[in-house]
A and B are shown apart, each in its own frame.
Chain A
Amino acid sequence: MPKLVLLWTDAVLYVLLIALCIYVWRVRTKPNLRANWRRVLRDPAGLCAGIVLLLFALLTFAESVHFRRTLPPAPGASPAVATFYATRTESLLDVMLQRQHEMRESSYSAPLAYLGFTKESFERDGQTVRGYPRLAFGGAHLADPARQWAGDVLARAAAGCAFGLLVACIVSLAAAAALGRQHGSAMQALRDIATDRTDYPLRAALVTVGVLCMLGGAVIALMDHYHVFGTDRTGNDVLLQALKSVRTAFVIGTIATIATLPFAVVLGVLAGYFKGWVDEVIQYLYTTLTSVPNVLLIAACVLMVQVFLDKHPEMFETGVERSDLKIFLLCVILGLTGWATLCRLVRGETLKLRELEYVQAATAFGVSDARIMARHIVPNVMHLVLITTVLNFSDLILYEAVLTYVGVGVDPSMSSFGGMINLARNEMSRDPVVWWSFAAAFGFMVTLVLAANLYADAVRDAFDPRSRSFRPRVLPKLIEKA
């Protein structure tokens, strides 16, 4: 039985998942929340971005179940001896991508290559030749790679694509069947989806699913025999690193934003509700905090955390636990230093809300301050919290890259987009260029951030009526040339 390891960030992510489930359940019972979320789903860009984010979230959760394997008992040891666990902490994703872990080359290799990237001297047919050696795993199954390679890659990619397309078709048919009753028949539903006449923008959603399935299928079909995104300097698969980086980005994006909420909401509501000296003190606090340039403040805090971790090695058993604690503390720091903006918004909104009739009525009835704030103010500032949270998500992912570059981000032992870019910087100045790590980091990061941005826009448009008027729309021409 492997030993489950509950890392700090894992625990927070699980709690978040539970909180999300509770929220979804709440949304189902509240008509106004439901209407707003429907509006998010009716926005084609928002829905598609949501699907992409969901995929990344699944990846994150697969990477967030950690355990340490049991080591086989030493030969001759009595069964009563305590079991030992491997020092390496693995995740569910590691198990799924076991083969990619094992496909370790000696150094750089280009995407889908079967030859190494650098010339080496090696033995062939009994004599030493200088050239590009065959890779140990990439394309190793080919007998005559020079002729078979292109055909093999194409065949595998096509098969993967076709399988992905098949999955997408099944999903589409299932969607049509589910909509069958609403639209008369399943056939009619299919026709309506194709012409985009459904209640939700299903056509866009299904196209997104189709593209994701096809890309995913091709990658999955290729990745057991080739390095789809090449290998890095130590021969590790870049695809694997990119997938693991997604979790790092996700963790930073979610946990750091959540960490801002307690301070921002509590202090903001208190300042706006009580006014007077409470307001003055809280305003002083956040003005002081915003006076210090953000990067410097974070750098200072992270340096302190570094010193603290170096002094307390007993807090973690394995390297993974150390880097996890570090990223967790980084999130806390980002939260502690980043609450000012939201606090200001919440304070302003509370100042407005406390003058409204229903709050005055509650005061007249003798409801206590704490209860008024909890029942009447906090629920009415929640839309601000939600909008800020989703908007912050993408900013933080971008921020992580910069912080890691500066040297105060995540631990170098942890895969992250910032770390990949940092290494890519040197690789791009090599001759010939090693571009694939950079390209992989770019592709994954832009997809993630773009999806997050589009989703955030959809959420903002749904919850903040004012922002809706800024949405670009192409109006149909009313008057043709007379």
Chain B
Amino acid sequence: MLNYLVRRLGYALLILVGVNLFTFVLFFTVNTPDDMARLNIGGKRVTQEQIDKWKSERGYDKPLYWNAKHQGSEKLTETIVWERSVSLLALDFGRSDAKNSVDIGHEIKTRMGVSLQLAVPLFLLQIVASTSFALVLVFFRHTRIDFWGVVLCVVMLSISSLFYIIVGQFLFSRVFKLVPISGYAGGLDAVKFLVLPVLLALLARLGTEARLYRAMFLEEIGRDYVRTARAKGLAEHIVLGRHVLKNALIPIITSAGSYLPYVFLGSLVFESFFGVPGLGAFVIEAITGQDFAIVRSMVFLGAVLYIASNVLIDLAYTWVDPRVRLH
């Protein structure tokens, strides 16, 4: 177990270094710090002095990859790539590039809490709803209920999530006036703002997930242990609910686990449509404002979360299936 964790951590570091280098090459080769300065200062005539001032204020006044002015290892360390990479690996995100530069780390901390409020209920409800819907379909397999259920799934997964949001907001907020159309408030008031996005996000993914889970259950149902359970005389709902469900948990965890990074990062679309000030909305603002420092930090954070959630998934395997040993 310890062995496994150490190895995973080593590999994770290697990947993070790769991600970091990749994003740097991506961001700085096309868009040099001079261009960034010009874009951020704005206006047609930007003097070199202004650019230099902007760069030194934000610590972009060093060479990108190689500093020939210095000696020894400082040739590598006195560069933008090195400084930024080291601070990112220490999860110090620095300040954003925009005029009213914000502390990215602080922003992430406050916004992640909001994102979690939206994403945790969604994540849990998603698993429960999709699994139960799929189980019902499997229970009624080879009947019309299963057939039309699958048809419903295919239709639902063919509809863009944007349609769910727009129609949902229109119906529940404008026509029935049940919940506010968008916005956010702290404390208990958050519930009335978050209930609609959670339900709509649930609905938007139900088709895909339920169909996938149904296939997983059907795969299990052909196994010998199911036949044995039936031969013992167990009722079908017990076979499904106790035996099949437990054994199908591994693929379900794999599939649901792939959403774990988004539990923390929040959903871009849902947060920005419903005006929830989470990380997803933060990213969209950064993209539309072309604030590269924020996008870079979020790319890195996303990679960290992805790796962490993969370890969590592996740990979950050992929990649901004692046969799985990590080493």
Contact = CB atoms under 8 A, between A and B. Distances in A.
Nearest to A297: B299
A291 B27 contact: no
Contacts of A418: 162
Chain A contact residues: over half helix, strand or loop, or mixed?
Answer: helix
Contact of A453 (B31, B35, B154, B307): B154
A402 B162 contact: yes
20 contacts: A284-B14, A284-B18, A291-B303, A293-B306, A296-B299, A297-B299, A299-B283, A308-B30, A398-B161, A402-B161, A402-B268, A406-B284, A425-B166, A442-B159, A445-B160, A446-B155, A446-B158, A446-B163, A469-B218, A474-B147
Interface residues of B, number: 62
B262 interface: yes
A29 B23 CA distance: 47
B158 A453 contact: yes
Given A293-B262, A474-B142, A300 B166 contact: no
Interface string B157-183: 111111100100110001000000100
B265 interface: yes
Contacts of B146: 472, 474
Interface in A86-144: none
A228 interface: no
Interface stretch (B75-83, B189-197, B287-295): B287-295
Interface of B: 14-16, 18-19, 22-23, 26-27, 30-31, 35, 137, 141-144, 146-147, 149-151, 154-155, 157-163, 166, 169-170, 174, 181, 214-215, 218-219, 222, 261-262, 265, 268-269, 272-273, 283-284, 287-288, 290, 292, 295-296, 298-299, 302-303, 306-307
Nearest to A301: B26
A437 B112 CA distance: 35
B142 A300 contact: no
Contacts of B288: 407
Interface string A265-306: 000000000000000000010011011110111011101100
A408 interface: yes
A473 B298 CA distance: 46
B30 A307 contact: yes
A457 B162 contact: no
Contacts of A467: 215
Interface residues of A, number: 50
A296 B302 contact: yes
A262 B30 CA distance: 24
Given A428-B166, A470-B214, A401 B160 contact: yes
Contacts of B158: 394, 446, 449-450, 453
Tell me the interface secondary structure of chain B in the complex: helix
Contact of B162 (A301, A421, A450): A421
Nearest to B137: A472
Nearest to B144: A474
A394 to B, nearest CB: 7
B31 A474 contact: no
A61 interface: no
A203 to B, nearest CB: 19
A474 B145 CA distance: 9
A292 B218 CA distance: 32
Contacts of B170: 428, 433
A291 B163 contact: no
Given A470-B214, A472-B146, A287 B287 contact: no
A292 B26 contact: no
Name, among B158, B159, B296, the residue most crowded by chain A CB atoms within 10 Å (CB to CB): B158
Nearest to A394: B158
Contact of B31 (A307, A398, A405, A469): A307
Given A304-B31, A406-B268, A473-B147, A299 B287 contact: yes
A252 interface: no
B57 to A, nearest CB: 21
A52 interface: no
Nearest to B175: A433
Contacts of A299: 283, 287, 295
B97 to A, nearest CB: 12
Contacts of A301: 26
Contacts of A290: 306
B298 A287 contact: no
Interface in A433-482: 433, 438, 442, 445-446, 449-450, 453-454, 457, 467, 469-470, 472-475
Contacts of B161: 398, 402
A20 B248 CA distance: 39
A165 interface: no
B218 A475 contact: no
Contact of B269 (A288, A405, A429): A405
Interface in A380-432: 394, 398, 401-402, 405-408, 417-418, 421, 424-425, 428-429
Contact of B166 (A296, A424, A473): A424
A292 B143 contact: no
B147 A470 contact: no
B182 to A, nearest CB: 10
A284 B15 contact: yes
Contacts of B261: 293
A421 B30 contact: no
B141 A472 contact: yes
